[in-house]
Chains A and B, each alone.
Chain A
Amino acid sequence: MAAREEILAALRRNAQPGAPRPVVDGVGARFPDLAARLAEAVTAVGGTLVRVPDLAAADAALRALPIHQGAKRIASLVPGVGAASFDPATVTDPHELEGLDLSVLPGSIAVAENGAVWIEGAKLPHHALVVIPEHVALVVNVADIVPDLHAAYARLDLAGRPRWGLFMAGPSKTADIEQSLVIGAHGARSLVVLLVG
């Protein structure tokens, strides 16, 4: 590891002492109605939000959507929501997930300011379930909405419990051709957030 030692030595030589780490304050977003703001934010990032009273209603709402009605292969990691056609935990090679029409995944935190939903890696038998399907539905409890990313990270406590996970905000998108927004670049062509409660 000569390279490691050389690089660290050069950095030690060249680093200049600086100010202490700033305290992150004065940045909290505030919204009078978190759920309403979340709905706006999800729409703004190209998704849709459907508010339902309970999981049974979430299931009914999802089944009524064209993304469910037109789906043949459905994976659901939220018991009782969506007509799962197989159990992704029994799949050993993620390549077999190609051709998946719909993933129904649990979201553990939703950020009102930007519409991002945190998906816990530990709940996914395959990371690919987030990106490989044509459509994604995320099921989130209304109690799990936080105003902004600062609140989200405080709740996640990744330093205390480091783990794999991602924020997903809306469906996959690109604007690489003359900046025309096109939904459905590589991942989900649509994203619906089922907000329960």
Chain B
Amino acid sequence: MGHLTTLTHPEAAARFAADEPRTHWHDDSLWFMRVKRDRAAAQVPEWERLRELAEGIKAYALANLPALLEQFEKNAAAAGATVHWARDAADHNRIVHELLFAKGVTRLVKSKSMLTEECGLNPYLEARGIEVVDTDLGERIVQFRNEPPSHIVLPAIHLKKEEIGELFHEKLGTDKGASDPKYLTEAARGHLRQKFLQAQAGLTGVNFALADTGAVVVCTNEGNADMGTSLPPLHIACMGLEKIVPRAEDLGVFLRLLARSATGQPVTTYSTHFHGPRRGSELHIVIVDNGRSALLGRDPYRRALSCIRCGACMNTCPVFRRSGGHSYGVTVPGPIGSVLAPTIDAKAHAALPFASTLCGSCADVCPVRIDLHHQLLAWRGDLVKAGHGSAGKSLALRFTAWLFASPARYALAGRLMRLALRVLPAGLMRSLAGPWGRQRELPVAPAESFRDSYRRTHGRA
């Protein structure tokens, strides 16, 4: 939704990486998050036990989703909230619009919700005359630029402060050339405070929905979810149906993991438990499927539904760090996004499971222990079987298999390659090696093969 690009991941990544200093800067920025995460995790001696518990609780929740959702619905309704069900993005957008339309809302403030990005809610509402203001600072920045977030926790991580200063000069009238983050944040605070005061409704995402109490829990550092819901008389909370946790006390596990994994903080600043509407207001909760129920039936990918959207897999991923979130062309990028996107449209996102070194760092940092690199590998197999693999790569692998299947062919190929390395120009050889050869030095061809050497010194092979 609102995607920047229809390029494949390798094409978009190549464009990103063409600016080498900027690529290094981006890489370092995200690695800094990874380091902060490591420091925070190391301070909790029972960290690995917490991860196991989080994995187990999520697995239990996924196995019992229908019952837990019904329990949640009953408890939320008892608390005075209204629960809506949306099969897909179209349902979701229509429901939200109807709620706003019924109240004559023309000014909406939103806190962060990847789900509404996924559903393309903003353009839908804007086309119907509703002003939508994203109030998370990073989201407001990318909204001003008419681009999607490049990271689910750090939406504007791809931008330099000078660029944001330029943008704010244009949009908010800040001083030309000013790029001090404190100054720019203060300007955004003043601008968004007015939007909060004028809003007729507030929309939030949901971090956790508690089956045993009917509450939705929203975590922010800025306080924008609390600002956006504490002034206007209408709060709409949109959640993917996998956000359910069985019990309020399970949050002891998840809240200890979430912020540490995301930013290295011990907990988010505001963790608000919305249990029914506040006095004089309405709370509507929209539960969205949009492909999730189908994913639940799909091994091994169902585990991806456990994701709590901390972004740790992005911060650690060597490919994400050097290609940028926008290169993935999907709402949730990085390793988890590369597992999720093909479940929606395998053909369109067939390149994403290949945007990985399979190093497994993502699975190591995942607070709910999703086996991300195994899932990415599984996708590669499934995609090739479904005919979405690269034709060139398949041909090359078939040829290699044919070559390796016969000792005579293998020996002949070795001889030819040693000769070619000696006599053909390096530029030609590198281009024959495909993308692999682009940034690598070619090996120096040995005078003889191991087999020849063995035969010479031992008399026979």
Contacts and interface: CB of A to CB of B under 8 A. Distances in A.
Interface stretch (A52-60, A76-84, A137-145, A175-183): A175-183
A169 B269 contact: yes
Interface residues of A, number: 76
B296 interface: yes
Interface residues of B, number: 98
B184 A177 contact: yes
Nearest to A24: B53
A3 B214 CA distance: 20
Nearest to B219: A167
A22 B293 contact: no
B116 interface: no
Interface in B225-245: 226-227, 229-231, 241
Contacts of A127: 226, 229-230, 278
B167 to A, nearest CB: 11
A42 to B, nearest CB: 11
Contacts of A186: 135, 189, 192-193, 196, 222-224, 227
A132 B229 CA distance: 11
A12 B66 contact: yes
Contact of A131 (B185, B214, B223): B223
B268 interface: yes
B352 interface: no
Interface in B243-275: 246-253, 255-256, 263, 265-275
Interface stretch (B5-13, B57-65, B419-427): B57-65
A25 to B, nearest CB: 8
Interface in B21-74: 29, 32-33, 44, 46, 49-50, 52-53, 56-57, 59-60, 62-66, 69-70
B156 interface: yes
Contact of B154 (A153, A179, A187): A179
Contacts of B212: 158-159
Interface stretch (B100-108, B136-144, B356-364, B433-441): B136-144
A128 B231 contact: yes
Interface stretch (A66-74, A101-109, A114-122): A114-122
Contact of A178 (B160, B214, B247, B289): B160
Given A8-B66, A16-B296, 10 more contacts: A10-B296, A24-B53, A24-B250, A24-B252, A115-B266, A116-B267, A149-B252, A159-B248, A159-B249, A176-B156
Interface of B: 29, 32-33, 44, 46, 49-50, 52-53, 56-57, 59-60, 62-66, 69-70, 75, 79, 85-87, 91, 135-138, 141, 154-157, 159-161, 164, 181-182, 184-186, 188-189, 192-193, 196-197, 210, 212-215, 221-224, 226-227, 229-231, 241, 246-253, 255-256, 263, 265-276, 278, 287, 289, 293-294, 296-299, 302
